[in-house]
Amino acid sequence: MAGETNNLPELDQDKYDADEQVKIICLGDSAVGKSKLMERFLMDGYRPQQLSTYALTLYKYTTTVNGKTVLVDFWDTAGQERFQSMHPSYYHKAHACIMVFDIQRKMTYKNLTNWYTELREYRPEIPCLVVANKIDADMKVTQKNFNFAKKQGLPFYFVSAADGTNVVKVFREAIHMALSYKQNSSDFMDEVMKELESFDLKNQEDSDEHEDEETEKLNTA
């Protein structure tokens, strides 16, 4: 897995003159409105970049938090979620997660359990928000109780990508949570990945050195 994640696209923090950089991922079933929520929040202040090789879309966004410029790397699934699972690289170095379900489709709510289980497999500690989307279709739904978020101790929001209800609030909260996590966490999986990447690099260097020695022997023979 380390070899795969080494080739993932990452934002150039220096290029955007940012003080901090965070990665926020979205999870949920197909057609729950993940992309629409991102686009509603970002409006004209983003540059979507389709990366078909990795089956995802990156949304690059800069903002200011406590006087510092923050570069936010929003990751969208670009349809990969239809397989009911994401590639491990999608979770790599994520600092926060927004989980979305459609209030009109009960199955998308039930499937939150599967998405959350997979999230915690790869990112055990990162903050996560749960979002009930499309409340504009039926405002009465806001009077119902959705126990999944409460059971897991996660923040919960009713939102609408169509009319913008709570969208800015959710994404601002996710950014703040991602920053706090990055600045205060010693995530175990991050340490594991660093060790694996360091191990792979050392093995490659040893292999290259051995090849150079063998080549030198052949040349002097």
Q: Is residue 197 part of a domain?
A: no
Q: Is residue 201 part of a domain?
A: no
Give dist(CA 21, CA 209) in Å, integer.
35
What is the distance, to the nearest Å, from the Cα of residue 169 to the centroid of all Cα atoms in its chain?
Answer: 18
- Note whether 61 and 40 are within 8 A (CB): no
Q: Which domain holds residue 70?
A: 2-185
What is the structure's pLDDT at 53? 41
What is the structure's pLDDT at 56? 72
Q: Is residue 99 part of a domain?
A: yes
Q: Is residue 199 part of a domain?
A: no
Q: Is residue 152 part of a domain?
A: yes
Sequence-distant (≥ 6) Cβ neighbours of residue 93 within 8 angstroms: 5, 23, 190, 193
> What is the domain-level CATH number for residue 158?
3.40.50.300
The reported pTM is 0.74
Instruction: Work out the number of other CB atoms within 10 angstroms of the CB of residue 156.
Output: 16
Q: Is residue 207 part of a domain?
A: no
Kindly list the averaged pLDDT for each block of 10 residues, start to end, along the chain of length 221.
43 63 94 90 59 65 92 82 73 96 95 95 96 94 93 97 93 96 74 60 63 60 57
What is the structure's pLDDT at 5? 42
Give dist(CA 206, CA 189) in Å, integer.
25
Number of domains in the chain: 1
Q: Is residue 209 part of a domain?
A: no
Q: Is residue 151 part of a domain?
A: yes
What is the structure's pLDDT at 187? 62
Give dist(CA 159, CA 95) in Å, integer.
22
Sequence-distant (≥ 6) Cβ neighbours of residue 200 within 8 angstroms: 2, 3, 6
